[in-house]
Amino acid sequence: MEEENQIILVDKPAGMSSFGAVARVRRELRDKFGHKVKVGHTGTLDPFATGLLILLSGKNTKRSNEFLKLDKVYEATIKLGYASDTGDTEGNIEKKNDREVDLNEIKEILKSFVGEIEQRPPKFSAIKINGQRAYKMARAGKDFEMPTRRVTIYDIEILDYDYPFLKICCHVSSGTYIRTLAEDIGEKLGVGAYCLELRRLKIGNWDVKDAKML
């Protein structure tokens, strides 16, 4: 049935994994069609994050590579002066610095991230290292190093700044970790930082405004 072969835009809520979103949609399609329908994602979104996930069903699951390398747009709230061992709200958070950073200083630092940069993905991520998920190795306390990768930050816009909270919108290439960007911003400012909130607004020309809530 042609109706089973869909491109499904989902607005993922906080606290749900990408695999959880896939499982829920798979159940909905099974109930609708009366039999199992294959469903896959086109790139994960962290459990603490919200926003756009593109899921493919039926024969469309073979098209995942068409979506994997698309640019993305995120809205993020970064908390300055603190650090998290996961780069987000799910890790152990500690106070790092009390210095209230000037907005002009932040603007100058953000300029240094625009363009092609070297980024080291977080250990608490779904990236595979020697066949194992990095986050599983990190949770097990294993000692390993994440390889760096070249990513592109096309644009970073400051939406709001009310110390210690910095809200930004960024347009980035596939493979960019906003958690890492938040940590790197905090490091360059010398005060520490982690990603408090993260929402994916766009993947290529696909927009979360057109997505269904789960």
Q: Say whether 46 is catalytic.
A: yes
User: Whole-structure pTM over 0.85, yes or no?
Assistant: yes
Average pLDDT, the chain: 92
Q: In angstroms, what CA-CA distances link 135 with 82, 143, 203? A: 21, 12, 24
- From the list 11, 31, 46, 207, the catalytic residue is 46
SS3 at position 207: strand
Q: Domain extents for the chain?
A: 2-69+205-213, 72-203
Q: Do domains 2-69+205-213 and 72-203 have the same CATH topology?
A: yes
CATH class of the domain whose range is 72-203? alpha beta
- Give alpha helix (H) positions in the chain: 18-33, 65-68, 103-111, 134-139, 178-189
CATH number of the domain at 2-69+205-213, please? Answer: 3.30.2350.10
Q: Cα-flanking dihedrals φ and ψ of residue 4, to 5°?
A: -75, -20
Token pair for 57: 């069903």
pLDDT per position as a tens digit, 175-214: 999 999 999 999 999 999 999 999 999 999 999 999 999 8
Q: With the CA atoms of 50, 52, 58 and 59 taken in that order, what torsion angle do they form, in degrees rounded to the nearest 10?
A: -140
- The DSSP call for residue 49 is -
